[in-house]
Structure 1
Amino acid sequence: MRVLVVEDNRDICDNIAAYLEKHNFILDFAYDGISAMHLAVTHAFDVIVLDLTLPGMDGLHFCQKLRTEAKLQTPLLMLTARDTLDDKIKGFEVGADDYLVKPFALQELHVRLHALFKRSNGKAENVLTVGDLTLNKSTLQVHRSGQRIDITPTCMKLLQRLMEVSPSVVTRDTLETLLWADEQPDGDALRSHMYKLRQAIDRSFEQPLIHTVHRIGYRIAEDM
């Protein structure tokens, strides 16, 4: 599981890292709201752990921007010393999925992260649809206008990510991380895979669905 931890207290970050990395978590850390937002929109995370009191952009503002502007539904656990009912309600209203009050047991954090991950996967829609294009995530079958389309496993990963956030743009960094994590291949391999995907999805149809956003990334939508 890959988790983004947004917390400005380095001691807390060190404790979280020491515990969760022993349980095979892959962790990225941000110590302010602005750098956290950059990481959240350019990398693929399974869960985000977010402190409310942050420099640059507070946790509530971060969560609101993540949901309404970035259009990301990554499960989010708020981690904070604020323990009033009003604070919790505000967190849930802007899009938090869970709330853990400091001080906390690392074992409880571990369990809550797994629960969020399982809940997110369990409630995900089984069939993604953009226009006349469908992707069944259980059978991994792709159809457009009733016609079955066969694509490679790599193209399937790209297509699923694009359809999950459609019509939003997915950055090149996000797609490259999705495919290769931190071990990027030489050359522009992403462009090659996107070309294959576009050929499979759009070549035989009048209206293109996959669009390149110059110097940013790609999106899939019925129109530009």
Structure 2
Amino acid sequence: MNNHSLYILVVEDQQSIAQNIANYMEAKGHILDFATQGDQGLALALTHHYDLVILDLNLPVMDGLEVCKQLREHAHHHVPIIMLTARDSIDDKITGFTLGADDYLTKPFSLAELEVRCFALSRRHLLQTNDTLIFDQLSIDRKKQQVTRAGHNLELHSMGYRILTILAEAYPQVVSRSKLSQKLWGDDPTESDALRSHIYQLRNILDKPFDYPMIKTLHGIGFVLNVKSDNN
């Protein structure tokens, strides 16, 4: 499924968990560094260019939330962070996300799922740091706010451009209608017909003249970018 290795920092004070992660991830070809204390993990994260940090919440000297907060304040680039915790309360998750965590896994977790989450985050991060997003026939130049498909310039309205960019940045994840509305209009509710109308107009320009649709509706769930080269 994936054939590239990741450079990962694991900040975890429980040796058995760190060892399990090491055994699984290194066997898959990933390169790992380890820290057992929060301050030590922060120092490593600030001096090395990791693809990802796997960060335990309960750490000696400096806890995971403080490490996350300090990393977001002092790092010169955004490094994706997956938080690990034995606590599964919604308050912990909200605090973690507020301080800058990108994802969250509750112990005990599947090592296979951890690897999948690592790939998804590193890929999303790579997309978000590039000025140009490219998916098969589709190219989105975020600096110039220009979109082309199969070499043709697409004249999108600003709302259509925003919808397409949101779907591209979330890819391969599905974006729910409510999440899309929230990103477009914030907390001000809008008629569901408004979103439907914008999606319809976007499809007329992005999909209609071409050989297959790039916006896929998952009924009752939301929307996802349909990239032909990823389909089996």
TM range (shorter): 0.5 to 0.7
Match status 1:74 vs 2:79: yes
Aligned counterparts of 2:111 and 2:48: Cα–Cα separation in 1: 25
Aligned counterparts of 1:113 and 1:69: Cα–Cα separation in 2: 22
Number of residues paired by the alignment?
A: 128
* C-alpha distance after superposition, 1:132-158 (max 9, x if no partner): xxxx9xxxxxxxxxxxxxxxxxxxxxx
1:22 is matched with 27
Q: Equivalent residue of 2:62, what SS?
A: coil
Aligned counterparts of 1:50 and 1:18: Cα–Cα separation in 2: 17
Q: Contact (CA 8 Å) 2:46, 2:74: kept in 1 or not?
A: no
TM-align CA RMSD: 1.4
Identity rate, percent: 51
Q: Equivalent residue of 1:49, what SS?
A: strand
1:185 is matched with none
1:37 is matched with 42
Aligned counterpart in structure 1 of residue 116 of structure 2, from 111, 118, 140: 111
Q: Equivalent residue of 1:121, what SS?
A: helix
Normalized against structure 1, the TM-score is what? 0.55
Aligned counterparts of 1:46 and 1:69: Cα–Cα separation in 2: 17
Aligned counterparts of 2:126 and 2:46: Cα–Cα separation in 1: 19
Q: Equivalent residue of 2:61, what SS?
A: coil
Aligned counterpart in structure 2 of residue 9 of structure 1, from 5, 10, 14: 14
Q: Equivalent residue of 1:24, what SS?
A: coil
Q: Contact (CA 8 Å) 1:66, 1:72: kept in 2 or not?
A: no
Aligned counterparts of 2:90 and 2:36: Cα–Cα separation in 1: 26
Unaligned runs of 5+ in 2: 1-5, 133-140, 142-232
Q: Quick one: higher RCO (CA 8 Å, sep 6+), 1 or 2?
A: 1
Normalized against structure 2, the TM-score is what? 0.53
2:56 is matched with 51
Q: CA deviation at 1:70?
A: 3.0
1:120 is matched with 125
Q: CA deviation at 1:121?
A: 0.5
User: Partner amino acid for 1:15?
Assistant: N
Q: CA deviation at 1:68?
A: 1.2
After TM superposition, the runs of 4+ consecutive aligned structure 1 residues lying more than 4 A away are none
Match status 1:88 vs 2:131: no
Q: Contact (CA 8 Å) 1:76, 1:98: kept in 2 or not?
A: yes
Q: CA deviation at 1:89?
A: 0.3
* C-alpha distance after superposition, 1:15-68 (max 9, x if no partner): 001000111100000000111111111111000000000001000000000001
Unaligned runs of 5+ in 1: 128-135, 137-224
